[in-house]
Amino acid sequence: MKLHYRKIGTGRPLIFLHGLFGSGDNWLSLGAKFSGCEVWLPDLRNHGESPWADEISVPLLAKDLLDFLTEHQLDSVLVGGHSLGAKVAMEATLTEPRRFRGLICLDMAPRAYEPHYSGFVPALQALDLATVTSRSEAQKALEAAIPDRPTLQFLLKSLVPQEGTPSWRWKLNLQALEKHYDEIWKPLQGQTSENLPRLYPGPALFLAGGNSDYVRLQDHALVHQLFPQAEIQTIPQAGHWLHAEKPQEVLSAINTWLSRHP
């Protein structure tokens, strides 16, 4: 699968992956400030401008990432991501650790999660695109189902005009996401099919939101089991969207870590 991507900056390659319902464009502003890095921002399958497929799971998304590295002749790269993107980055480093020189994970642990935001997909599917004439109109129609305004505005970034027509379309494969929604919340496997331990021995940075429950104190042991060189830092007074709530603090933590791992 050939993933759509953006590329910004110069320096050592860093692949950064967006979260669920997002796209690489979400990271254009902050990614441009990653120090000394050529930042690649792919859209995951069924997101943004990347191809759609009936299946979606973390191992499949990680395979897409590994294929992306092969396609673009990238090796010994830094990789990072937020939320689902962080989980995909973790899975890829555990699968082929020699292809990565460092890992950055924002507010995600390798454990299982109860599915979050499960009502979002049905709400977006229920929107009658045949009658929508603007994003503001769509926002009004979805406010009752998704009352949190910043979240709704984020989701509506994936609602775009259909080229050459007056219609609108989602840049999300909502059908596939609904069908396989539970897949993306499963834990990462700590062993191979041959019962050998999986781990990524390279440097790793885990940033957690201080007001988020995605990375709990009891998750640290599992993080260190799979990523023995992991540094875990907390961004105070930040939730799951820590990079949106505390962008300067997140950027400072990432750039400081990058400077210590040239």
| Side-by-side strand order, sheet with 5-8 | 5-8, 37-42, 12-17, 77-82, 100-106, 204-209, 230-235
CA dist 258 and 197 (Å) reads: 28
Radius of gyration of the chain (CA): 18
* 50 given a catalytic annotation: no
From 83, 158, 212, 243, active-site residue: 83
Beta strands in 88-185 (DSSP E): 100-106, 159-161, 168-170
Partners of residue 47 on adjacent β-strands: 172
234 closest CA partner among 256, 205, 197: 205
* 240 given a catalytic annotation: yes
From 18, 47, 82, 240, active-site residue: 240
Partners of residue 172 on adjacent β-strands: 47
List the catalytic residues. 83, 240
